[in-house]
Structure 1
């Protein structure tokens, strides 16, 4: 990836530079900004694009250090993540951006809309949901967090590609399975545990979407088993100004299974935002 800065609380990777409304990309769990690189390659040149690593993942500091820098409480939370993204984006000299969040990045994007609405000119929610975990899901997150910290390794996440990729990708594109496993293997157990606990504590943000008045797009793989199409439709039901894009043959990682389709959805959103800004 291109130039990385740590002027703000989080590591920010500048993937492109140009004019128009900048695009900020937030990755999913348990990976980092690299998951967005193929999507950016499909976008037209001439726009600033920044991908931000989550607390404790990629090249960002641990969640505890991020929270301390922000004066936030010690408990892991997506609110801390959102505040850190906002501070990082502003440290890069940007004050109005389109935010695209994949899975956990979508949770952070919705928290960003709630806590820093002046920053978000457009919103892309990719393979994510606005509702919280149910009790078994929350308990499993806490179990995984405890296990990775106790063991110091990430063997608990070995089955992640099987859940995140579509069955077709698993059968015919072994390079994607290897890539996801390699990205996971690069992460720190402390960051994985922090993210799991933060996601487990997240509230329902459906009402936040209902109040979002800027352009939006909801993208979902038609084979997504983690946040399936009905969860995308639930968000579409409340967003006032949104496009739904269902990606054929993709699972929870449409951004690497079909980056061209995801890039097309983002480009249409960016053009809508740019037109509104010019008006």
Structure 2
């Protein structure tokens, strides 16, 4: 299958995996803002942003293997790999399946626990509904929780951009991804086994994967640091890109042997 990717900059390769149900377009501010400190690679996960969905059964492992094939095609042996929300789930799957490809890990606005039964059932309900009714289901069911209250109150342009990204989600990809996320395992053992440094980022207003989830991940990893981004919700990279980029740049500098402080 083909995985669309967009790259910017030179230096340490940093792969950023997008949230559900968005595309790599969410990383525009990161491609621009981080290009001076690293090579930013922002693929579209299968089915999103023009990439091919293919015929595989829904699985985050499939997505993780896609990312490794992308690294191979780019000639990248090891990279810093990170993701936000669903992208974080894919990152943890990659940590589990391909730990030798990692220089560092970034987990943003995501969580390590598996879905309880009620959440899995709700994902299946949304998957079925989006196939019948289209992206309007995602706007109604998901959009209200994707950004923080500060963004809702005072950043109309940001909220409008997020709405447009959600509205652009292909229904078949959205349904496939919901089912993939529903089937994901608990990843706390995966976190405990990570041998590289880990940066955990969370928006202080994130109600989908709140700061308590971030705290639990930092406690699980052997070498972790936490950055809480003020006045941001679940899409912290879009809502507060400067703060997000600063945290990533400091982490990358640390990995590259710089003296940046831990977040």
Q: TM-score under structure 2 normalisation?
A: 0.94
Q: Larger deviation: 156-165 or 30-39?
A: 156-165
Map of 1:4 onto structure 2: none
Residues 59-138 of structure 1 aligned to structure 2 (within 5 Å): 59-64=50-55, 67=56, 75-138=57-120
CA deviations on 1:6-55 (whole Å, 9 max, x unpaired) are xx7311111x1312x20111000000001111133322515311101111
Contact persistence 1:63–1:191 (CA under 8 A): no
Supply the distance in 2 between the matched residues of 1:59 and 1:116 (Cα, whole angstroms). Answer: 25
Gaps of 5+ in 2: 259-263
Supply the distance in 2 between the matched residues of 1:257 and 1:100 (Cα, whole angstroms). Answer: 18
Supply the distance in 1 between the matched residues of 2:213 and 2:241 (Cα, whole angstroms). Answer: 21
Map of 1:245 onto structure 2: 227
Contact persistence 2:17–2:24 (CA under 8 A): yes
Give the deviation of 1:217 after TM superposition.
Answer: 0.5
Supply the distance in 1 between the matched residues of 2:13 and 2:137 (Cα, whole angstroms). Answer: 36
RMSD of aligned residue pairs (Cα, Å):
1.4
Q: Which runs of 4+ in 1 moved over 3 A?
A: none
Contact persistence 1:236–1:244 (CA under 8 A): yes
Please state if 1:42 is matched with 2:23. no
Please state if 1:155 is matched with 2:155. no
CA deviations on 1:72-111 (whole Å, 9 max, x unpaired) are xxx2000000001111121111111001100000000010
Contact persistence 2:9–2:34 (CA under 8 A): no
Aligned to 1:233, which of 198, 202, 215?
Answer: 215
Please state if 1:23 is matched with 2:5. no
Residues 184-223 of structure 1 aligned to structure 2 (within 5 Å): 184-223=166-205
Q: TM-score under structure 1 normalisation?
A: 0.89
Aligned to 1:53, which of 44, 49, 63?
Answer: 44
